Amino acid sequence: MRELPMVDDRTACDSGECGPGGCGPEGCGTAGAGSLDTGAAADLAAKLKLLADPVRLRLLNLLATAPAGEVCACDLVEPLGRSQPTISHHLKVLRDAGLVDGERRGTWIWYSVRREAIVEVLDALRAATGLAASLV
């Protein structure tokens, strides 16, 4: 991961008004323009929060790398070392968020990643951080 340089706002002012407590009432003018509104920030934060769970990340990984592009829920218990109800709970959270699809076939549900939804989350994060243009 690339580290971003730390900025000391007090060194950015030419007016000499900055002191230990910060800048004057107008600030230093070092903040970006920012275009992420409150609603978009809340939506992105909610998706990132649900993705911050290691079990959910591993589920997405197993689904995304499945040779057939889909996995039966019964085949997710052993690789994750979790109970079937726990796996079902995490899959429901991912499904409710629109990140995975599920199709019932008899007793079991087969899951697949909604790749376009994952790309939307990645694009929103890139746009929110201003890194969209610099990442390939």
**How is residue 133 written in tokens?**
């243009």
Give residue 28's pLDDT: 65
Instruction: Give me Rg for the CA atoms of the chain.
Output: 22
Per-position b or e across 88-115, b if 16+ CB within 10 A of its CB: eebbebbeebebbbbeeeeeebbbbbbe
Look at strands 71-72 and 100-105 and give their pairing.
Answer: unpaired
Question: Side chain identity at 44, as an amino acid letter?
Answer: L
Per-residue pLDDT tens listing for the chain (136 residues): 555 555 454 455 555 556 555 665 566 666 666 677 888 889 889 999 999 999 999 999 999 999 999 999 999 999 999 999 999 999 999 999 999 999 999 999 999 999 999 999 999 899 888 886 555 5
Give residue 73's pLDDT: 94
Contact 70, 100 (CB under 8 A): no
Maximum pairwise Cα distance, the chain: 72
Give residue 130's pLDDT: 81
CA distances from 101 to 11, 44, 85, 98, 109 (A): 51, 20, 18, 7, 10
E strand or H helix at 121:
helix 115-129
